[in-house]
Structure 1
Amino acid sequence: MTDEPFDDVYDDKFDLDDQVEIDGIDPADSRVLDEMVEGIDEEDVDVEGLIEAGVGYVSINRYEQAVEAFERAVKFEPENAEAWVNKGFAHAEMDEYDRAIGAYDEALRVEDEEFDVEALVNKAYAEYESHRGNPLETVERALEKDERSSEAWYNRAVFLNERGSHEDALRCIDNALSLGQRGPRALHEKARALEELGRYDEAEEIRETAREAEEEEIMSEAREGLEGEDSLSL
């Protein structure tokens, strides 16, 4: 089993920046969720606001509070697939894979096409990490719904490499890369397939490209950090 093969995919699960205050609400404030529902008629509860607060908690790694926010969202709007998917993600970040899978199943029950693929891809990841279900079958269901999902092709490549189907894994990872899959880990997964197929020179070239990508990521993060310091000093 590879070392955390999914990190590059799921790090980008939420589109977050360093600013976690949402519409004047700071999710770091422990009173936020209570203030959003107390004394308010059920039909007037801002479910989208609860989801945004949950995303804010995820951005500062407060996953228990994130789960609470998403739980409140689905309590008031049980057919909200976005809240269920996000709830599953927060559970997975705490290694609560059974609960994550349950949340993804709820999202799939809703049958919201906008979130079906995301739910299936994330469910496959949770199944893989928890050794439950059939992650390969789950990710293939995602590809049936959207054959242009780079995350699904990447995950399928990982699962196939694990099973020793390296030719098929190589084809899948090439599909993922051509569809815009980001991150050096995708390149490392391709190198892994090439090495298993005895194509060592090609594998080393890909590894070198992956190392360069990792260095660029480090430099980019450093630049962003410096820019952040500059903006705070103004």
Structure 2
Amino acid sequence: MPRSSPLERPDCKAISKAIQFKPDDHEAWHNRGVALNELGRDEEAIASYDKAIQFKPDKHEAWYNRGNALFNLGRYEEAIASYDKAIQFKPDYHEAWNNRGNALKGIGRYEEAIASFDQALQFKPDYHVAWNNRGIALDDLGRYDDLGRYEEAIASYDKAIQFKPDYHEAWNNRGNALLSLGRYEEAIASFDQALQCKPDKHEAWYNRGVALGNLGRYEEAIASYDKAIQFKPGCHGTWNNRGNALKGIGRYEEAIASFDKAIQFKPDYHYPWYGKAVCYVKQGQVDKAIDHLRQAIKLNSQARDWAKTDSAFAPIRQDPRFQALIQEP
């Protein structure tokens, strides 16, 4: 039997019938858009919201959901314009202010995004989602601006957690902000809280591994990466970091195997090629070390800069092949 279209589901059929009998039924057009949104058919959803707005221009829900569909398509500027219309007709629409902030964040306008989240919180002070998103925007500013924004981000995540103590996303994000400040023990405690709320959160296991690695606690880091891999086996970054931890305790064969897994999942990822080169130097396999370093540099010239000052390459530094690799092209 041919499979029926998603819009032939009973609820969708009822909506289509309502539109057929009353083509200017703005509620029906809006509901059709919502149904299409749920099916991931965002372009069609936008067309339905446009019809709803045509018949009722001040329908704030349609402007809001239209913004969400545009956001899903990565059309952030248009999404912002839609959220602005929703807010024009319902100024205290905290969800619209929040999602507007996310769209602004998506195009790197972080200060404006924070202001938008602040508006959402003015209307709903216990809106944990907005506190979390505000923290993410502050995190982004910390990367591009100054470290002081990480402290503000942590304060925002604390507010999110205050209103939703089992909010694993906020615990994980809080840990990342602490990680960026070099407060590794506190970061681990935050990741542990995230994992208490959601034991299969692979990002938290990964980030916990990073923090442990930075403390030189490589065995524990490996155990954390193993848990991350258990829940997301194809994550190339986790396999790479696991390789680095194994390299850190001299388990070079296992490290190479881990780097190989990273390369299997992302062949153009220069980090594991570089990591393997270091392992081969440690094992005295100079030819393999040169070959892998060459490939790392080919994939990303950043590897050349690392090799110039990396003491791991001291045993082969005078090798003409190594010297040729580290020269600027």
Which TM-score applies when normalising by structure 1? 0.72
The Cα of 1:66 is off from its aligned counterpart by 1.7
Distance 2:124 2:233 in 1: 33
1:150/1:181 contact within 8 Å kept:
no
Aligned to 1:100: 153
Q: 5+ residue gaps in structure 1?
A: 1-18, 218-234
Aligned to 2:176: 125
2:67/2:82 contact within 8 Å kept:
no
Give aligned pairs, total: 195
Matching of residue 167 in structure 1 with residue 229 in structure 2: no
Spell out the pairing of 1:29-48 with structure 2 (5 A cutoff): 36-37=86-87, 40=90, 42=92, 45=93, 47-48=94-95
Match of 1:22 among 57, 68, 92: 68
The Cα of 1:208 is off from its aligned counterpart by 2.7
Structure number with greater CO (CA < 8 Å, separation at least 6) is 1
Spell out the pairing of 1:189-228 with structure 2 (5 A cutoff): 189-215=241-267
Matching of residue 91 in structure 1 with residue 138 in structure 2: yes
What SS does the aligned partner of 2:266 have? helix
Post-superposition CA distance 1:55-79 (Å, at most 9, x none) = 2222222222221221111111111
The Cα of 1:120 is off from its aligned counterpart by 0.8
1:74/1:84 contact within 8 Å kept:
yes
What SS does the aligned partner of 1:171 have? helix
1:33/1:69 contact within 8 Å kept:
no
Q: Which has the higher helix share?
A: 2
The Cα of 1:149 is off from its aligned counterpart by 1.5
Aligned to 1:74: 121
2:76/2:106 contact within 8 Å kept:
no
Moved more, 90-99 or 126-135: 126-135
Aligned to 2:32: none
Distance 2:84 2:201 in 1: 37
**Judging changes above 3 Å, is the alpha-carbon distance between structure 1 residues 38 and 61 closer, same or farther for their aligned structure 2 residues?**
same
Moved more, 93-102 or 51-60: 51-60
The Cα of 1:37 is off from its aligned counterpart by 4.2
Distance 2:70 2:210 in 1: 41
1:121/1:139 contact within 8 Å kept:
yes
Distance 1:35 1:99 in 2: 30
Distance 1:166 1:23 in 2: 44
RMSD: 2.9
Spell out the pairing of 1:56-75 with structure 2 (5 A cutoff): 56-75=103-122
Match of 1:152 among 204, 209, 221: 204
Distance 1:184 1:77 in 2: 40
1:127/1:135 contact within 8 Å kept:
yes
Aligned to 2:274: none
**Judging changes above 3 Å, is the alpha-carbon distance between structure 1 residues 213 and 34 closer, same or farther for their aligned structure 2 residues?**
same
1:160/1:166 contact within 8 Å kept:
yes
**Judging changes above 3 Å, is the alpha-carbon distance between structure 1 residues 27 and 50 closer, same or farther for their aligned structure 2 residues?**
farther
The Cα of 1:141 is off from its aligned counterpart by 1.9
Distance 1:68 1:35 in 2: 17
Q: 5+ residue gaps in structure 2?
A: 1-42, 44-65, 143-148, 270-329
